Structure 1
Amino acid sequence: MMKCFRVLIVCGWLILGALAVGAQDNEEIMIIIPPGLEVDGGELYLGQVAVIKGATPVTMEKLKQVYLGPAPRYAETTWLYQTNVKYALDRSGFAGKYLLEMPSKAKISRAAQFLTKEMLLAAVEAHISSIASPFWEEWRIEPGRIQERTIPKGQVEVLVDDGISSIKPGLLTFRLRVLVDGEVFTTLPLTFRLLVKAHVYVSAIGLKRNEVISESSFHRELQELVNGNEFLKPLAADKFRVTREIPVGRVLMDKDIQEAPAVVKGSKLRLLLYSQSIEVELLVLAEEDGWLGDQILVTNIGSNRRLKATVIGPGLVEVRLD
């Protein structure tokens, strides 16, 4: 009796195993591919484009890895033909084991995003803000033609190439680096016109060459800068002079202004002569302009002898022989 029972159990196991094998062989696998879809990555696999039904977990994983060819490039599309999908499935060992539901060809596009005009301009404006002159009152940019382009999906960052530490108004070109998920995807130029307004110095009276500027020599106006060479720094009266003749109403440029020298050519100076423990003071005539620390040529008024002396203060020079 016990022997018969054991025989029945073994037979049951065999029958159940045969049924399981038969069920696996008769899987009703449905593969559905829509007429158009978007994919990520550079390679195309069945799992990216198809909805798979009725497969066991093991079969499902195998089906997802069926290779269908390269994916289209960014901003491009390609066609996935039904005949190619069937060939790939049959070659992978699934011949006669699936039902494929798809049009004769499906349109495949690469997942992407737009690099917009606003994104590029925001990067340019942020960089200009970081290097703009503190003397600018306001500024704006007028971009040239900007063509939006397609880039991969991901976290986008646009940076201005290093090396641009100062700028002037006018027509400019920045080279931008476009990063996607931290990696440089492309670089591109962006041309724009920078418009700047600032308070400039305008001559209130005519000034002769080398004339020291007084408070009545100029007034300030808020103007749009022409080329960025306008003098914008604080201009203290009696501390600067003009380098050329300036008519009334002219905007002062950087090249028009220089610090007033401590010693002026043709002026009489005190010269302190040091030789070991001896100190002598002489009266000399300046043969050239000089600023603090400069060595200039002077003439001894008493002996008419010329010598080099160092400017140490207004109207004061020295010579050290020790």
Structure 2
Amino acid sequence: MKRLQILALSLLLLGGMTPAASAGDTVVITLPPTVEVESEELSLGQVAEIKAAPKLRAQLEQLTLGRAPRHGETVWLYRTNVVYALDRSQLVGAYTLEMPAKVKVTRAGQLLTAELLLAAVETQIGKYASDHWTAWRVEPGQLHERRIPQGELEFRFEGGQAPKPGLNTFRVGVVVSGELFTTVPVTVRLAIQAPVYVSTQKLNRYTRLTADNCRREEQELTTGNEWLAELPADQYRVLREIPAGRVLTTRDLQEVPLITEKSKVRLILNSGLIHVELTAQAEEDGWLHDQIIVTNFSSNQRLTATVVGPGTVEVTLE
């Protein structure tokens, strides 16, 4: 009788030492051939489906398997590494691991497409589009797709220079969920149609523009320096000799001055309540409020005078 009691006690103790996983709670860990992960660190819960008791499953899900790949990169998770991590953790005794010899691991993200970048560039160019442009289009260069993190996407443009006809390179900041992820250069060709002014005959320096010596016609812009604004007759002149058939640029033209060099001007001398009008010669061109040198005919004295109107300058004496 005593021997039976000892045997029963021994069986009871042995039963209490059996792991929970071997008492019918089979642990099955399944990994597919490819997985995507979101965090910086790889854990078993990210890459595997785990069938186990709730407490044990929670522990196994936190089992670290190394660093996750960076965006756009791939790493391989080998079966031997998973087995080593499981055995070393001592969290589980018997388990079934269902996975291929290696699993392809990529970083979860979104695709930054060429279409998205091109649309962002077109929006940016649209902010600078002139009212004088009648049409414009963007021709993309080599735009490459890339993987970026998941999140709300927006674009920021460095600089702020106005785009020109021809090739333009934009530095586009790619912002994900409010944080700058990367900056990429985007090169496009911008084609712009607009009405320009073309000389109809050879123009000597300082020739004033009229309907007789220039015409307006629509062309594709080549430099971005073409004169696009309205040119009222006789109010602008050319700064250099211009051949016939040339497109006029902002560097070619100048507003006609109120006073021209070597012309006679009305010189007003102010001294308190006394005003004296004399005749003088302008020694240089002058526009409204410019200070120019004039020579008083009566005294042959050179004075610095202020342009106050067409053909009129003023000097205040103290």
User: Normalised by the shorter chain, which TM-score bucket?
Assistant: 0.7 to 0.9
Per the alignment, residue 219 of structure 2 pairs with: 223
Cα contact 2:43–2:65 (8 A) shared by 1: yes
Query: In 1, Cα distance between the equivalents of 2:19 and 2:95?
Result: 16
Check conservation: 1:230, 1:252, Cα contact below 8 A. Answer: yes
User: Is 1:262 the counterpart of 2:258 in the alignment?
Assistant: yes
Q: Deviations over 1:2-27 (max 9, x none)?
A: xxxxxxxxxxxxx9xx99x9866612
**Distance in 2 separating the partners of 1:301 and 1:133:** 49
Q: Is the 8 A contact 1:202 1:252 kept in 2?
A: yes
Deviation at 1:254, TM superposition (A): 0.8
Query: Which shows bigger deviation, 309-318 or 69-78?
Result: 69-78
Indicate the percent of aligned positions where both proteins have the same amino acid: 53
Matching residue of 1:78? 75
CA displacement, residues 255-308 of structure 1 (integer Å, 9 cap, x when unaligned): 111111111122222111112232211122222211111222222333433322
Q: TM-score, normalised by structure 2?
A: 0.87
Find the partner of 2:241 among 245, 256, 259: 245
Q: Which whole-Å CA distance do the structure 2 matches of 1:73 and 1:307 have between them?
A: 74
The correspondence for 2:156, drawn from 134, 150, 159, is: 159
CA displacement, residues 56-80 of structure 1 (integer Å, 9 cap, x when unaligned): 2211211111112222233333332
Kindly indicate which of the two structures has a greater share of residues assigned to helix: 1
Structure 2 equivalent of residue 137 of structure 1: 134
Does the C-alpha gap of structure 1 residues 32 and 280 become closer, same or farther in structure 2, counting only changes over 3 Å? Answer: same
* Equivalent residue, structure 2, for 1:101: 98
Segment of structure 1 superposing worse, 261-270 or 70-79: 70-79
Matched residue type, 2:316: R
- Alpha-carbon distance, 1:320 to partner: 1.2
The separation in 1 between residues aligned to 2:21 and 2:166, in whole angstroms, is: 74
Aligned length: 303
Please name the residue that 1:30 is paired with: 28
TM-score under structure 1 length normalisation: 0.86
- Say which is worse superposed, 73-82 or 287-296, in terms of deviation: 73-82
CA deviations on 1:128-148 (whole Å, 9 max, x unpaired) are: 111223322222222222222
> Which residue pairs with 1:12 in the alignment?
none
Q: Which runs of 5+ in 1 are unaligned?
A: 1-14
Query: How many Å separate the matches in 2 of 1:309 and 1:38?
Result: 78
Q: Aligned residue for 1:51?
A: 49
> Is there any run of 5+ residues in structure 2 with no aligned partner, and where?
1-11
Amino acid in the other structure paired with 1:33: L
- Quick check: 70-79 or 259-268, which moved more? 70-79
Q: Which one is further off, 89-98 or 129-138?
A: 89-98
* TM-fit CA distance, 1:229: 1.2
